[in-house]
Amino acid sequence: RVYFRQGESTLDPLFRENGTRLHAFTERFRTLLQDPSRRILGLRVTAGASPEGSTVINRRLSEERAEAIRRLVYDYFPREVGWLATVPKGIDWEGLERLVDADHSIPYRYEVLEMLRHTPEWITQGGVVTDGRKHRLMLMNGGSVWRYLDRWFFPELRASTLHVWYESDRQPAAARDTL
């Protein structure tokens, strides 16, 4: 898992120890490729964005973040890129829900979880967007909940994760390694 600055899709190896993570992944992946008892089944990049900003911008950011990882894999392992699929998520609502669910100290945790689980991203009337999940989160408790999420959770959503699936003669089930 590597992280991006807000509004950016350039992979900075100096940001949040990305360089260390990338080095560890390339070493593990190189070892995996050289192990004759293991066979790569596939690679998948998932990339997300945090909710602030427009949906269009967040979709583009997640696409560009996934592409940054795809290019990185291609640069290091050009023959293996054929196994790679990208999954840009746009706003990573599922990731936000997991983070909120795991943090029992967040103010209005129950209400935030209810909103994330049951409020549609877009609420329309007559084909016009009139409200939605993001807007309601922004208004919750006068904006204090949004500011809390922005500070503690949104940076975790500005990320890409690379999953590697492989078979091993030593393990009957497929295993997964994650960047």
H helix or E strand, kind and range, residue 151? helix 144-152
pTM for the whole structure: 0.88
Residues 6 or more apart whose Cβ sits within 8 Å of residue 13: 19, 22
* 177 band by pLDDT with thresholds 50, 70 and 90: low
Whose CA is closest to 123, among 107, 139, 134? 134
Q: Is 139 left (phi over 0), alpha (psi -120 to 50) or beta?
A: alpha
Q: How many of the other CB atoms lie within 10 Å of CB of 167?
A: 15
Q: Whole-number mean pLDDT of the chain?
A: 92
pLDDT value at residue 101: 98
